[in-house]
Amino acid sequence: MTMKQLSVFVENKPGTLAEITGVLGENQIDMRALSVADTERYGILRLIVDKPQEAEAALKAAGFKVSLTDVIGIAVQNQPGGLSQALKYVAQVGIAVEYMYAFVSQKRDTAYVILRVQDNEKAIAALKEGGIPIICEKEV
């Protein structure tokens, strides 16, 4: 049970992020979470949106390098140590986290975290066994 994440290659020049978010707005696509990895030369914008396939098509048409990546969404308790416990379950089965980012949910006591790992199935199994709820796109 993975989620689709939209990844967009962002060249380092003024206005690129405004252009990308503009395309999404024009196409009535709602962003739920985002993170940016930045390097000296470029950035990678990662987005969780309500309509990933439509967003991908719209951005491609606008000339952006986009791809959809399967990522894992988990719900963690919004309290100290909540995330650490979940990550331990993943580490115990020898899986490294490539990157992750968090966002708040409507429910005040829960935070959502997106995890990108090499082996989704194995990580999901470990998380489930530890009782960590896996979320799907509709829930966010």
Partner 1 sequence: MERYWNPVETAPLHEMRALQSLRLSRTVRHVYEHIPFYRKKFDEMGLKPEDIQSIDDIVKLPFTYKQDLRDNYPYGLFAVPVEDLVRIHASSGTTGKQTVVGYTANDIKIWGNCCGRALTAAGGDASDFVHVSYGYGLFTGGLGLHAGAEEIHATVIPVSSGNTKRQIQIFKDFGSTILCCTPSYALFLGESLRDMGVDLSEISLKAGIFGAEPWSDEMRRKIEGLLGIKAYDIYGLSEVMGPGVAFECSEQTGMHINEDHFYPEIIDPDTGEVLPEGEVGELVFTCITKEALPLIRYRTRDIASLSREKCSCGRTLIKMKKPSGRTDDMLIIRGVNVFPSQVEAVLLELGDTAPHYMLVVDRVDNLDTLEIQVEMKEDMEFDAVRLIEETEAKIKAAVASTLGISAKITLLPPKSIARSEGKAVRVIDKRKI
Residues that bind partner 1 (CB under 8 A): 5, 7, 9, 11, 37, 39, 41-42, 44, 46, 63-65, 67, 69, 98-99, 116
Nearer to partner 1, 65 or 88 (CB): 65
Nearer to partner 1, 9 or 85 (CB): 9
Nearer to partner 1, 60 or 128 (CB): 60
For residue 116, give every residue at least 6 positions away whose Cβ sits within 8 Å of its Cβ, in sequence order, or none: 5, 69, 71, 72, 97, 98, 99, 100
Cβ atoms of 10 and 62 closer than 8 Å: no
Q: How far is the CB of 104 from partner 1 (least distance, A)?
A: 23
Render 43-81 in DSSP notation, one character per residue: EEEEEEES-HHHHHHHHHHTT--EEEEEEEEEEEESSTT
Q: How far is the CB of 65 from partner 1 (least distance, A)?
A: 3
